[in-house]
Structure 1
Amino acid sequence: MLEKLNALHYPGKIYLVIVLSVATLLSLISVYNIQTPEGSRPYLFIFWDTFLAWVPVGFAVMLDVLFSYTRKRVRALLLIIVGAAWLFFYPNAPYLVTDLLHVFARYSLDPTKRFWSDIAFWQHLFTIFTIAMLGLLLGAYSLFSVQHLMRISFGVMASWIFAILVLLLSSFGIYIGRFIRWNSWDVIMRPGHILQELIVMFTDRSKLYHIVSFCKFMFMVLLISYVLIYVITKVRKV
């Protein structure tokens, strides 16, 4: 069993989870410390968003455990169930990138002044930018982990096709989360409503254009960041 875990990059993954946990804690402390002149804390909702970003990491670890310790008779079924849950929640990690918009929505910008000279503005921007980077790292960690399982099971080519499809679907998942305001669990709780909404979205040309315009940029960000992290990880092993 230990040999199987070693083949899945343990205990290295545990060390990465610890590092990401520390980074998350420091980032959330920075988020909490931001206050408006009135004394309110405008970004507390990011705590929930960050929790959701960690959910696919948890499912990725579960997939590793199931892959290593379960019997073949039940492994496939359990992997499919947990894998589907991972896929539904995966967009919550890179979704944190879109929280950057809240800096411009919640910070008191005065267009008649050089607001970018205000250190408070940069405090807001750098703090939420750190959260956005954390989302990309959490997403890359869990996708790298699941892609490795795919590579072991189906080969390198299949694993990369899988990874690219996940990033494409995630781009759309981030779109519907940001603009349509669906949650991951809505797939189970309201499947009929979601199906009706999807039909409307894909048959309306203006809505379809809006979807494609956003998703192509989101996909580009996800793909470039993931490939860079993947390559850096591989270079370190050379």
Structure 2
Amino acid sequence: MRKLNYVHMFVFLSAVTVITLGLYYIAADWLDQRYFRFLIWNLFLGWIPFVFSSLTYGLGRLKWKGAAWIAVPSAMMWLLFFPNSSYIVTDLLHLTSRSSRYFSGNGAAFHYWYDLMVVLMFVWAGLLIGFLSMYQIQEIVYDRLGRAASWIFVLGGTALGSYGVLLGRVYRLNSWDALTNRELLIRLMHESVSRPSLAFCMFFGTFLLTIYLTLYYLLNARGSGPDQRSLQTNDKKG
């Protein structure tokens, strides 16, 4: 599993976030509407998993034995907020709910394409932030418990992440309700036991896992072309 420079990752994700916000404000000023301003708050919530994964990663690298006692609660907080990063995918719903504003007898209006690109940028930024945070935690599990345990973690994380999105989108539950309103959480979990909910979690979980596997492969792929071999040969000679 390739080790990443998470300082560089933070800078990269920050740049993607700035570009995303810039596109929103440009489109909002151009079209004179702020309907999608709630995406800013959702993206902020999407950053929280990366904060906790970075804290967990840093604690996991410390030789101090007591760090593990802090790293475990930090990892649990990561899991609690991880669904926020992929929840933004479901905000595509708002494009459908506003379809009457976009479509007429002449087809789609131009502002539909502006709104679509803005929403997709927020979705892309949220997914990148969430999956790089998962990669951080997987790296720790990989180093401590091995490859098999790290992939069990990924499967469990994507499954619980999809369930968290279900509770948030369908049952309107917030992440912090798990800490402040446990009775509501338990009641909604009972209500969510149904075939449609299971189907949603299976489809959304497969979606998340596929994207994560794609990201993982791109990060860990090894080049084998002539340039790569020549570089390796030069390194050996040097």
TM-score above 0.5: yes
Contact 1:8 1:64 in 2 (8 A): no
Please give the alpha-carbon distance, in whole angstroms, between the structure 1 residues aligned to 2:31 and 2:85. 31
1:1-238 equivalent positions in 2, closer than 5 A: 9=3, 12-35=5-28, 39-69=32-62, 71-72=64-65, 74-106=66-98, 108-109=100-101, 112-116=104-108, 118-202=109-193, 208-236=194-222
Which deviations, in whole Å up to 9, do the C-alpha atoms of 1:78-123 show, x marking residues without a partner?
Answer: 111101100000110111111111122235436552433x221111
The size of the alignment, in residue pairs, is 224
**Aligned-residue offset at 1:165:** 0.5
Give the gaps of 5 or more residues in structure 2. 225-238
**C-alpha RMSD of the superposition:** 2.2
The letter of the residue matching 1:44 is R
Summarize the Cα distance change of 1:70–1:107 in structure 2 as closer, same or farther, 3 Å threshold.
farther
Identity in percent: 28
Give the gaps of 5 or more residues in structure 1. 1-6, 203-207
TM-score, with structure 1 as normaliser = 0.87
The letter of the residue matching 2:123 is A
Please give the alpha-carbon distance, in whole angstroms, between the structure 2 residues aligned to 1:133 and 1:105. 21
Contact 1:42 1:106 in 2 (8 A): no
TM-score, with structure 2 as normaliser = 0.87
The letter of the residue matching 1:142 is S
Which deviations, in whole Å up to 9, do the C-alpha atoms of 1:34-65 show, x marking residues without a partner?
Answer: 34998331111111100010011011110111
Partner of 1:3: none
Please give the alpha-carbon distance, in whole angstroms, between the structure 1 residues aligned to 2:122 and 2:222. 25
